Chain A
Amino acid sequence: MKLESESNQLTLKDFPYIVQWKEDRCKRCGQCTSICPVGAIKPSVKMIRTVESEGMLPQPKVRVKAIHIMEQVKDMEHYCTGCAMCQFVCPNEAIEPVYNPQNRFFHFKNTSGEPYRRGGRRNDPNPSTLDRIKFTRISMLTDPALDAGRHEFRIRTYLGRLLQPHDLPLVSAGGRIEIEKKDTFIPPVREIFPVIIGSMSIGALSPPMWEGLAMGVAYLNEVEGIPVVMATGEGGVPSRLLKSRYLKYFILQIASGYFGWDEIIHSLPYMVEDPAAIEIKYGQGAKPGDGGLLMAQKVIKLIAKIRGVPEGVDLASPPTHQTKYSIEEAVAKMIQSMSMAFGFRVPVYPKISGTKTALAVLNNLARNPYAGALAIDGEDGGTGAAYNVSLDKMGHPIASNIRDCYLELVKQGKQNELPLIAGGGIGKKGNLAANTAALIMLGASAVQVGKYIMQATAGCLGDELNRCNICNTGKCPRGIATQDPKLYRRLDSEKVAERLVEVFRSCDVELKKIFAPLGRSTELPIGMSDALGSDDAHMAERLGIAYVC
């Protein structure tokens, strides 16, 4: 029999996380192995053989005993993801995974020639551009300083194209301003909170996660009076929601897979409210040029029904829309169709991934009166499933991308017309409001946030040291990104909703804390870049903000 070469076996040092286990604290209850989502640890038997010599002469005495230990599995199919669920359930603090900076994970995570796929976002634990931007213009005695705790603020933005006053068909009649009945198209506009919950599909997210967010959004609007909207992602929307009056808080996404859209169209006659907007997805910051993908293990009954597909098949949204061959055609055609579907009452905007070519898209949209906004998703955006190479190496950071677009609009005098929505990496280090404010001051009218929301509302474990990040496998230990009831029933929708409310209330306060010293309380400081500074001279120069040190 041929021996298996030991040269091709991996060493523990090759793995990204090394499980530290304390024998003296462990009571062998097995909760850690029971919870481990990937089977990275297992009980094992080890022989201990000791030789002792008692007395004044060499008199060897052998003691042999077999003991039970906890062992890390040295197998790429069962690598420890560092999720630390073992540590979470251990009653004795006997086990924890420790990040191993020496790991050579990517050298080996390609078994069967299958490149590494995962969820999460770009693995770069360094502070992002957004986190290196500070707000350096603090009015104390120079301007009327506002007090975030005392003054009233309106943290609101507009979703939809705004016409200049002179473009509006207004007439003065009997001392009042009225809209003249003409054929002029007045684009639909929504007043919303400037932080949008970014597209995360039903399918990517579990039912309790998605509904928890949806319920939280409804609560924020109806109880808290914070007009937060949430994008559905492409993956169908349950008809119960489509037919409810809560639909107005949701941006319906259409992507290249068109999953669930037949059901949405069937619901059209029964809708009592229009959706907040329609987002046409052309790209995703996390995986530019790589399409959407829902792995077969997540396509169970529920998802199959909502999306209108058979169970247990991989669902790909191709990286391109199949029936469009140029910017002009692609954008115009889709925006027309979607506007028409909702009687031109709903803002329609495309979402692209951050790219050097964003200006070309922007210029196209600027000329299209039906375009409601442009959303750009930067390279630090998250995803439920993508090739690691797309996640780590593809894409464009959002900061300079949004800045270039804004300045281009300024050049054209249209900076207040076409809202820019920025996404990708907002809240990466937990600074949701600060990152949002930075992007607004660089020129965004709103931001869209996904990953942070999952982390903050449901304890998503993923981070930029590749902790967990197994959303693609359907084994999410938190029950967020899985369709397995045995996993997702761990998650409480109400708790998710509650956390969402807390997150937005707190974000609202933090935004006030940032805007108050700038003297802004009623209008967002969009493009107010003189308030920004960076301790990196090149970054400051590129973004056209102050270099401070």
Chain B
Amino acid sequence: MYAKKLELLNEQIGILEWLDEKTAIIKGNTGKERISSRLLEEQIQKAVSEGARNLEIYADGQHGIGGILWPRGETIEIMVYGPVGQRCGSMGMFGTEILINGCASDDVGWLNCGAKITVLGDVGNGAFNAAAQGILYVQGSGGARCDTLTKHNPRFDPPQSWYLRDVGDSFAEFKAGGISVVCGVNPRNPDSVLGYRPCVGMVGGIIYFRGDIQGFSEKDVRLLDISESDWTWLKENMIPFLSAIDRLDLYNELSSNLEEWKKLVPFTPEERRAKRHFSLSITEFRKRQWEKEVGEGGIFAEYIDHERWSVIPYIVTGELRRFKPVWSNEKYDPPCAYACPTHIPTHKRARLLREGKINEALELMLMYSPIPEVVCGEICPNLCMDACTRARHDLPINVETLVKIKKEITLPKPQKPTGKKVAIIGGGPAGMSAAWQLALKGHETHLYESSDRLGGKIDQCIPKERLSIHVLYKELNRFKEIGVGLHLDTYVDGELFKDIYKNNDAIIIACGAHKPRRLEFPGSEHTITAYKFLKMINQGKKPDLTGKKILVIGAGNVGMDVASEAYVYGAEEVVAIDIQKPAAFGKELEIARKKGVKIIWPKNIERFDNVEGKVYFSDGSSIEAQIVIVSIGDMPVLDFIPFFIHSENGWIKVNEFYQTSDHKVYAIGDVTGLGLVTHAIGHGKIVADYVHDRLIAKPYSFTKKGVIPYKRIKKEYYDFSRIEMNDPSKEAERCLSCGMCRNCHICETTCHWGAIKRIEHSDGSFEYTVDDERCIACGFCVEVCPCGVWEMRQN
């Protein structure tokens, strides 16, 4: 019948033929030639606009037949015969119903927007590509890339596509919506009714299928059994499909067994995110495969001793910290005590004064020196003050102020007697210091002094201007009360020394240096020595130097004392010369300078003409001088010591504990080399400690502490002192307490983690401790401690 109709049609001249007012026939070939897709489309549009609702189209490979018709609520039925071109029914609208009597070429139903398309045969590649609404029924198979990019617009029902047999490769790529059904009846590829690699990039819609498949894009979709509701839908919608393709006979076969059907559904966005595409978690891989193969604990397990797979946080406490803070109270010396040859702990004295413990402060001093006020308060150049941290801020702690406490104290009590005997030769500062310390430690102590007075050069040579007689005698008297056996006016010669050596457990030589060094030059016989000059004055013989010009050879501190005294006794001019840079410093220099001393250097004396009253120098210059005083230092007199006590260049040789070449003989003070009074006192303390430990057979344990670095003291807590203090307790408040906790609670208060606690002991002492389980080793306590007490150490 079709052929007959075609024959009839071919005889017509026109390509559009009306059968009745609603039915039109449109030909794709005039019989002579194929008409173009454009002309055919124009005829279709014309027919529809003129009222045609049934179209019979005899195609000849024309493109896009049946698309984009506007039936305005009505239905247009299109029957297509002949070789159908590509994209039949593309962009078809609701109301368009196309029946293709045979196979369709590629892209049937492309971008379908509602048309119902039935193909009584196979469809080529790309069928239903990008379809958004409508229906595609296929009686045969689909080609490659069918149902790709289909959509579901929520305004409409989802698009449906039904394939009776099977579909080709790359099915449903990027499918975003719509329902595809592949019935798997007599499939061309029985191994896979969905072809090769379906569902790549599929994000929406659903695919029902019946039959075997060979894989699908597992990262996009999953394979599931169909549910009851799926089954209901399938059975219900299968009927119109089967009737459209005229295969209702298959209904029973297709709807008999739910288990023949499966579905592919895309992962939801939530599932996709959750999966992160790891089919096997790394932890599972590690446990099930990695450790199975390389051994438990991984490849490094043999070499490490910590738990292998655990992780620690960035901020840690306890053992995991790289560092830990330690309250290192008094681990270091403050600069003052460190610089002091006597090692006097000025910081402790200041603390006691701050706490109002004045007696204790004074007693503390006497533990270090028998004559603290003489030394610290009067004659010492106060090396402690030069070193004071506070000197780097405003002004050093004034030690002279600190010692001047107008209060008498009770004498410290000696320890109980040890039964050991110690002899000290020399009653100067060194000898007194050693005797004082040893007596306090309970030893029977005897002091031998050649003159009739104690004090040595303090008494003999220091101008009274620099040292108040009152203070000196007060402290000398205190010394006498400690219980040292005093042997004044006793010159120790070789014989006596032998006795002393025999009868004592230890002998300490502290005879000082009392033999002035002399220079030999023409006229030197007319000079006098500084030692003699100063001693004469301190013994009460007052020289008359009125109008005299005086030259002092040697511009050290003794030279300055000489110069000052010379001015006191009327000298008109005093000049001090030196062959090198003058060594004078401190108060001695200051006082002499005030009085007018001139210091000239370098000058090397050539001769002294006492008649002319002139001194000539090697550089050809000269100076007027009636009196020349030589002040180039003193040497010890060592005629009494036995040969087994070695000396070198006139000084007794000692080790770091002032022990001589004989194990029971020690030497301290100027007899070992010239020094300051404070050096002599320091020697006395050290030698006493050492001798004591030896005598009671205790290992000597003292090690000198290091000095705390200045930068560890936080001066920023203290304002600048704007006035000089004269009050000892006020001065004590200025002390920065370097290296010694001032118990201010700054650390405890600052610690954000509450890791620092102050613990008070039953004896009244206290300490600050760290709770390691709270501390993160941030270093706040270390860096904000005013006294530099906290230290960070490797943990």
Contacts and interface: CB of A to CB of B under 8 A. Distances in A.
Given A29-B753, A215-B282, A45 B311 contact: no
Contacts of B277: 505
Given A29-B753, A240-B302, A505-B277, A492 B783 contact: no
Nearest to B776: A34
A497 B778 contact: no
A238 interface: yes
A96 B256 CA distance: 71
A46 interface: yes
Main secondary structure of the interface of B (DSSP, over half): loop
Given A64-B719, A239-B302, 10 more contacts: A28-B780, A33-B780, A44-B784, A45-B714, A68-B750, A85-B314, A150-B170, A218-B290, A301-B303, A484-B322
Nearest to A67: B716
A549 interface: no
A222 B783 CA distance: 54
Contact of A66 (B280, B300, B304, B716): B716
Interface in B155-185: 170, 173-174
B644 interface: no
B778 A31 contact: yes
Interface in B708-722: 714, 716-717, 719
A47 interface: yes
A210 B294 CA distance: 14
A350 interface: no
Nearest to B315: A31
Report the 8 A-B pairs with minimum CB-CB distance, sorted nearest first.
Answer: A30-B778, A302-B303, A43-B783, A29-B752, A238-B299, A45-B716, A207-B300, A47-B716
Contact of A501 (B278, B750, B752, B780): B278
Interface stretch (A17-25, A241-249, A364-372): A241-249
A392 interface: no
Interface of B: 170, 173-174, 197, 200-201, 277-280, 282-283, 285-286, 289-290, 293-295, 298-304, 306, 309-316, 320-322, 386, 714, 716-717, 719, 750, 752-753, 776-780, 782-784, 786
B717 to A, nearest CB: 5
Interface in A200-255: 207, 210-211, 214-216, 218-219, 222-223, 238-241, 244-246
B290 A49 contact: no
A45 B289 contact: no
Contact of A42 (B301, B321, B779): B779
Contact of B299 (A45, A241, A305): A241
A209 to B, nearest CB: 11
B79 to A, nearest CB: 36
Contacts of B780: 28, 30, 33, 43, 68
B449 to A, nearest CB: 38
Given A223-B285, A486-B322, A493-B309, A305 B303 contact: yes
12 contacts: A1-B386, A45-B714, A47-B716, A211-B298, A211-B300, A215-B285, A218-B285, A223-B279, A240-B294, A489-B320, A490-B312, A492-B311
Contact of B293 (A28, A238, A244, A495): A244
Nearest to B312: A489
Contact of B315 (A28, A35, A47, A49): A35
B779 A43 contact: yes
Contacts of A165: none
A46 B314 contact: no
B776 A214 contact: no
Contacts of B295: 240
B685 to A, nearest CB: 25
Nearest to B386: A1
A246 B717 contact: no
Contact of A498 (B279, B282, B783): B282
B304 A302 contact: yes
A343 interface: no
A133 interface: no
A471 interface: no
B716 A46 contact: yes
B203 to A, nearest CB: 12
Contacts of B312: 486, 489-490
Given A28-B780, A490-B312, A215 B750 contact: no
Contacts of A150: 170, 173-174, 200-201
Nearest to A64: B719
A307 to B, nearest CB: 11
B750 A490 contact: no
Given A218-B289, A491-B311, A31 B306 contact: no
A486 B753 contact: no
Given A30-B752, A492-B311, A43 B784 contact: yes
Contacts of A31: 315, 776, 778
A58 interface: no
A149 B314 contact: no
A306 interface: yes
A89 interface: yes
B783 A45 contact: yes
A464 interface: no
A32 B753 CA distance: 14
B717 A45 contact: yes
**Max chain A C-beta neighbours (<10 A), residue from B280, B301, B313, B778:** B778
Contacts of A27: 752
A243 B776 CA distance: 42
B779 A30 contact: yes
B717 A34 contact: no
Nearest to B313: A490
B311 A490 contact: yes
Nearest to A1: B386
**Max chain B C-beta neighbours (<10 A), residue from A43, A152, A306, A487:** A43
A383 to B, nearest CB: 23
Nearest to A66: B717
A491 B778 CA distance: 21
A88 interface: yes
Contacts of B173: 150
A223 B294 CA distance: 17
A29 B778 contact: yes
Contact of B314 (A35, A47, A66, A245): A35
B715 to A, nearest CB: 8
A417 interface: no
B783 to A, nearest CB: 4
A43 B717 CA distance: 14
A302 B717 contact: no
Contacts of B314: 35, 85, 88-89, 477, 490
A378 B279 CA distance: 37
A222 B776 contact: no
Nearest to B217: A150
A264 to B, nearest CB: 14
Contact of A486 (B201, B320, B714, B784): B320
